[in-house]
Structure 1
């Protein structure tokens, strides 16, 4: 492996956070059918991977999109429970 190679597991933080954020946003739409656990889990993982990716500076655009959609998936169930609770 070359000394300046970008091949590392950290390069996958952006695409993984993007995929999990999208899954969280889609799961928010189907919260009535799927429950609250799937958007919370996918959203929290998307936010975690996005923050790790932004810290490392690899794939900033997918990390930013994953952060936004993951936050949506994370905050919607929390606000829903707060409104009904």
Structure 2
């Protein structure tokens, strides 16, 4: 009988969501230096991994924080478009 690792790749959804959400929020603040693509990409990935992690019920706190910060990065982008868009 072999004893393998019990972890699965799905257990990384929480960490990935948290990392992408925080990166999205940081790049949203620095949007004039990094451009608009990075906050949108990182925010969307944070929201996606957060939703997948919550669906799998793994690391709920990390997934929730990643989902919230990713959503804030995306909402900041929408706010910029509504404010300065023609």
TM-score normalised by structure 1 residue count: 0.91
Root-mean-square deviation (CA, aligned residues, Å) is: 1.5
Q: Work out whether 1:10 is the aligned partner of 2:10.
A: yes
- Structure 2 equivalent of residue 79 of structure 1: 79
Larger radius of gyration: 2
Runs of at least 5 residues in structure 1 that lack an aligned partner in the other structure: none
- Structure 1 equivalent of residue 59 of structure 2: 59
Runs of at least 5 residues in structure 2 that lack an aligned partner in the other structure: none
Return the offset for 1:35. 1.1
- Structure 1 equivalent of residue 27 of structure 2: 27
Q: Output one character per residue of 1:50-74: Cα deviation in whole Å (capped at 9) or x when no partner.
A: 0000000000000000011000111
Return the offset for 1:16. 0.3
TM-score normalised by structure 2 residue count: 0.90
Match of 1:54, SS? helix
Return the offset for 1:33. 0.8
Deviation beyond 2 Å, 4+ runs, structure 1: none
| Counterpart Cα distance in 2 of 1:84 and 1:29 | 16
